[in-house]
Structure 1
Amino acid sequence: MNALSVITNVQIERAAAFPAKFADNPARAASLDTIQRRNAILDAVFYDVDAVTEEETPDLAFWLAREGAVILVPPSGADRLKVFLTAEDFLKGAPSVAPLAIAGVGSSAL
């Protein structure tokens, strides 16, 4: 899968989720949507998003991989990535891992 396909799939999933996010918090959804879309595109410039499969892109849409979520990313081809909505969910359900990276403010799940 190439970077353009990954970005397209993630943006389609985000667009599908927007009405629900808007109904939940209109001001937040409207103000953050453009920034989140921009950040996903910047991720494609700086990171190897080609490693994300078409089946994984719905998991990275912003209604699942939001602030506070933990994303377990195995080596390419080893397994599918997993999204845990909270740190507690991760600690309960994830295998032990050695490396850990913490995304900065403004980073997208992609």
Structure 2
Amino acid sequence: MAIVTRLWPALVLATAVLLAACGPATEGPSVDVTAEAAAVAAIDPKAAAEAAKDKAETDALAAAKPAFDAALATGDPLAIDDLADAGNPWALYHRGKARVAGHDFMLQQGGFEDMEAAA
């Protein structure tokens, strides 16, 4: 009983520190932060160019996704290989993951190349 009495303040303090460290739950960026980033991009031409480049890359990835999803839904590995050979980044990543997971050294090297091409 004496040990519990001596440890009681330490347990209370540890609990308080743990709860204080966790803090309240945070959510994504607020509208103010997004508006501020847009304002900075409007002023800084370099930031605006980077934002436009990022948007173009995102749009290209979004455009390539439906074809990959259709090939993946059929379950035909040849269709995915054809898409990967055509340069579809989703198919390249999928094929690269499958190749890297294998035990054949040459296939693994091909998988690394697919992963680099997808990036």
Q: TM-score, normalization: structure 2?
A: 0.29
Pick 1 or 2: higher relative contact order, CA cutoff 8 A, min separation 6: 1
- Structure whose residues are more often strand by fraction: 1
Q: TM-score, normalization: structure 1?
A: 0.31
Structure label with greater radius of gyration: 2
